[in-house]
């Protein structure tokens, strides 16, 4: 990848390869694709400060992200993401060359108005009708979600601590929600939009330039889906780590709804759909991931402690859905 990144930098910044000093640094963090930070400078340039960009190697199914970035930058004048500097398609892989956005601060989400800015950016994304759905039809997400839900239940049944107690405490709730997943999805998908599909603090950058300049990264799970899936993903993941966001949950929910063109309000029906969306997110892999952490002897005690706490939050989501299902069955 070093030669490829060097050639790209040479073409893009019009610097002869012989005058480039370029190095690569792997970016880690649970990413499925290989991602590196490329840093270069030219000894002959007046400004010796290094320039950086990100290179993302996409293989097989991951290659759909190339089309998603192209759609974002072709159809929107100011998409809520990092700049696409270029891309290359080879027989084996695609290579995305992306701006490395500088975050304003490592953790700005203890300020409610900043977390609300992300909700508002999501609302604008969901209201946009310029994105092309044909880019997204290559993924049968519903089939993958159903398979993931079944696998999650299987892991929950088997994942136990040293004393034989299941890590997932309310297995009946989980079993019921997995069985009802087609019903949940049917209700959710009455209203669809282009969604990011994986909104959490690791995939949101608050740029250093402006307080409310939000950029979403890692669009590999972008698709047509319920807008509430993005919103629930953001608020749930944020609430797991930020007490202020957890306390201000409905304030952030209202910030999103008021920013939508439809000007929705919080109603019982909308709240039910919100929990359906959150449960869908959990069953798509998040719940299973934390169960697997707890039974993996390689994982650290800190990781296991975090997973115990986060699983309790997912249990509350699943419990809310079973309560909603109980209410609907009695109508």
pLDDT value at residue 50: 72
Domains 2-99 and 118-329 fall in the same CATH topology: no
Residue 22 CA: distances (Å) to CA of 1, 37, 40, 85, 93: 11, 10, 4, 17, 22
Give the containing element (helix H, strand E) for 309.
helix 301-329
What is the three-class DSSP state of 74? helix
- Per CATH, domain 2-99 is 3.30.200.20: yes
The full set of domain ranges for the chain reads: 2-99, 118-329
Write out the CATH class of domain 118-329: alpha beta
If you search the block for the tokens 């959990």, which residue do you land on?
Answer: 282
Nearest alpha carbon to residue 205 among 66, 83, 64: 83
Terminal alpha carbon distance of the chain: 60
Take residue 2 and report the two structure tokens written for it: 């070093």
pLDDT value at residue 131: 84
- The number of CA neighbours under 13 Å toward the Cβ of 66 is 19
pTM, full prediction = 0.93
Residue 17 in contact with residue 10, Cβ under 8 Å?
yes
Take residue 60 and report the two structure tokens written for it: 């097989």
What are the pLDDT tens digits along the chain (331 aa)? 899 999 999 999 888 998 888 999 998 765 578 999 999 888 776 665 678 999 999 999 999 999 999 999 999 988 999 999 999 999 999 999 999 988 778 889 999 999 999 999 999 999 998 887 777 778 999 999 999 999 999 999 999 999 999 999 999 999 999 999 999 999 999 999 999 999 999 999 988 665 568 999 999 999 999 999 999 999 999 999 999 999 999 999 999 999 999 888 999 999 999 999 999 999 999 999 999 999 999 999 999 999 999 999 999 999 999 999 985 443 3
Beta partners for 41? 21
* Largest interatomic CA distance in the chain: 76
Report how far residue 286's alpha carbon sits from residue 17's, in angstroms, rounded to the nearest whole number.
44
pLDDT value at residue 29: 63
Report how far residue 54's alpha carbon sits from residue 64's, in angstroms, rounded to the nearest whole number.
18
Tally the residues of the chain: 331
DSSP label at 63? Answer: G
pLDDT value at residue 86: 96
Report how far residue 296's alpha carbon sits from residue 311's, in angstroms, rounded to the nearest whole number.
15
């Amino acid at each position: 990848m070093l030669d490829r990144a060097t050639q790209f930098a040479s073409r893009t910044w019009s610097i002869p390869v012989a005058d480039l000093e370029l190095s690569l640094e792997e970016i880690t963090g649970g990413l499925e694709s290989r991602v590196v930070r490329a840093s270069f400078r030219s000894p002959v340039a007046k400004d010796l400060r290094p320039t950086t960009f990100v290179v993302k190697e996409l293989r097989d199914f991951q290659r759909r992200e190339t089309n998603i970035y192209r759609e974002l930058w072709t159809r929107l004048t100011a998409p809520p993401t990092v700049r696409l500097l270029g891309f290359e398609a080879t027989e084996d892989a695609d290579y995305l060359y992306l701006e490395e956005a500088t975050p304003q601060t490592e953790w700005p989400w203890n300020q409610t108005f900043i977390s609300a800015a992300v909700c508002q950016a999501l609302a604008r994304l969901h209201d946009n009708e310029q994105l092309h759905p044909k880019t997204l039809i290559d993924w049968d997400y519903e089939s993958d979600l159903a398979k993931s839900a079944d696998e999650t239940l299987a892991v929950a049944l088997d994942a136990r601590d040293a004393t034989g107690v299941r890590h997932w405490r309310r297995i009946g709730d989980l079993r019921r929600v997995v069985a009802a997943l087609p019903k949940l999805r049917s209700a959710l998908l009455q209203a669809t939009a282009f969604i990011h599909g994986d909104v959490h603090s690791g995939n949101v950058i608050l740029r250093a330039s402006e307080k409310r300049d939000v950029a979403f990264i890692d669009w590999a799970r972008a698709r047509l889906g319920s807008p509430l899936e993005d919103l629930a993903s953001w608020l749930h993941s944020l609430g797991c780590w930020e007490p202020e966001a957890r306390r201000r949950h409905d304030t952030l929910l209202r910030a999103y709804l008021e920013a939508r063109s439809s000007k929705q309000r919080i109603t019982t029906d909308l709240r039910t759909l919100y929990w359906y969306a959150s449960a869908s997110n959990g069953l798509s892999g998040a719940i299973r991931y934390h169960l697997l952490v707890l039974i993996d002897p390689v994982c650290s005690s800190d990781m296991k402690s975090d997973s115990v706490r986060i699983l309790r939050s997912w249990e509350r989501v699943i419990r809310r859905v079973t309560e909603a299902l109980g209410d609907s069955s009695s109508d």
